[in-house]
Amino acid sequence: MFDDVGSVMTKVLKFGLWLILGISIIGSLVGYLMAGMSGVFGALAGGSAVLIFTGMTALSILIGSKLPLAGFVGAVLGGWLIKMVLFLIMFTLLDKASWLTLEARPIVFFTIVASVIGGLILDTRIVSKARFPVVTGKP
């Protein structure tokens, strides 16, 4: 009947996975037409990068909501810090990858942008439809 942090974040993770999978498939098709197999790999790499990036935030809040306030802050901000370092390493490796041709590079960028914008629309919709009780505790 009513939602809590756990149910909202589970919904976000579930629908977000499907959305990014769909965008990655469309990106792969466009990538294949534009740059061959390199475009397909580029779209998949971009999609998985966004999935990890946005999924880690939702997961950190899901874990943090079960902890006391200090633990919650530590989980969210610590998760963000780890994520940024992981991303720096990931993008550096992707930037130097020999299989990513010059034609396939825009595919990575546009898959990331489309997944991020699509994910934000989905998140806003799920949160705006969620029903939270204002009063907690037993009646």
Residues at the contact surface with another protein, assessed by CB under 8 A: 4-5, 8-9, 46, 49-50, 53-54, 57-58, 61, 64-65, 69, 72-73, 76-77, 80, 84, 87-88, 91, 94-95, 102, 105-106, 108-110, 112-113, 116-117, 119-120, 123-124, 127, 130, 132, 134-137
Q: How far is CA 23 from CA 34, 71, 87, 95, 109, in A?
A: 16, 34, 20, 21, 13
- Closest separation in Å from C-beta 72 to another protein: 7
Tokens (6 digits) for 47: 């999609």
Query: Considering beta carbons, is residue 13 or 25 the nearer one to another protein?
Result: 13
Residue 107 CA to residue 40 CA, distance in Å, equals 9
CA distance 77 to 63: 12
| Count of positions (residues) in the chain | 139
Q: Which is nearer to another protein, 19 or 61 (CB)?
A: 61
- Torsions phi, psi for 66 (to 5 deg): -90, -5
Whichever of 19 and 112 has its CB closer to another protein, that residue is 112
DSSP category for residue 100: S
The least distance separating another protein from the CB of residue 8, rounded to whole angstroms, comes to 5
- Least Å from the CB of residue 34 to another protein: 13
Beta carbon of residue 57, minimum distance to another protein (angstroms, whole number): 6
